[in-house]
A = this chain, B = another copy of it.
Amino acid sequence: MNTHICLSDRPEHLNRWRQAFPTGTVVATLSALSRTTGATTLVWLHAENLPQAHIDETLLEVRELFPDIRIVVLSSTPSQKEALLALNVGASGYCHAQSTPQMLQQVATVVSNGGLWIGPQLMTRVMAAAGRIFAPEPDHPGLKQLTPRENEVALAVGRGASNREVAEQLDITERTVKAHLGAIFEKLGIRDRLQLMLFLSRSGSSS
């Protein structure tokens, strides 16, 4: 049996949600939420006119109260930007506050079973983005022919570090950094650190 709690600053706009979860509870403040008893399985966050910047803060506070809880954010003005924000701080779902009761129940089912619910458009974008980042890894005639040390230097430069900074990070002389870079340039057939950055960004230098 699932228990649903909705933290909302606009309870009057929750008709759909009440329909979907007649036994659910609506609270207006975090402290009310913290006084909740019983096994809550899902917390819904409805931040209608809170500025976006506060959604993630609220969400993090909820997660402090209930570390293992799954959280779905309801938005009256959904945007991919906002969705990413929510998901990045641990939300398991993000959907329109005026979704049909059926839809809301579906979201609840997915999320409470450990799934992630985001809109299909956003899903497309996320997967495309992920694909761009992970797919390029396999090929890579480039970085593989670099020695370990050269690789470190290349990655540091890829992060935008200057020769001096690389030297400090690797605890070597700036001169040595230059030596490594020279070897890198020759091996990769490029002319300078700018081309190296392009090379890296095209070759999936993720994490």
In this assembly, does A1 line the interface, its C-beta being within 8 Å of a C-beta of chain B?
Answer: no
Q: Within 8 Å CB of A135, what residues of B?
A: 84-85, 88
Residues of A that sit less than 8 Å from B by CB: 52, 80-81, 84-85, 87-88, 106, 109-111, 113-118, 123, 125-135, 137-138, 157, 159-160, 162, 192-195, 197-198, 201, 206-207
State A130–B35 Cα separation when bound (angstroms): 35
* Nearest Cβ on chain B to A149's Cβ, whole angstroms: 21
Q: How distant is A59 from chain B, measured CB to nearest CB, in Å?
A: 14
Once the chains bind, are B80 and A134 in contact (CB under 8 Å)? yes
Whether A134 lies near B81 (C-beta < 8 A) is yes
A137 with B197: CB separation less than 8 A: no
Give me 18 other A-B pairs in contact (C-beta within 8 A), A80-B134, A126-B130, A129-B206 excluded: A81-B137, A84-B130, A85-B135, A87-B130, A88-B135, A109-B113, A110-B114, A114-B117, A126-B127, A129-B134, A130-B130, A160-B194, A160-B195, A162-B194, A194-B194, A194-B197, A197-B201, A201-B201
| Residues in B whose Cβ lies below 8 Å from that of A109 | 109-110, 113, 115
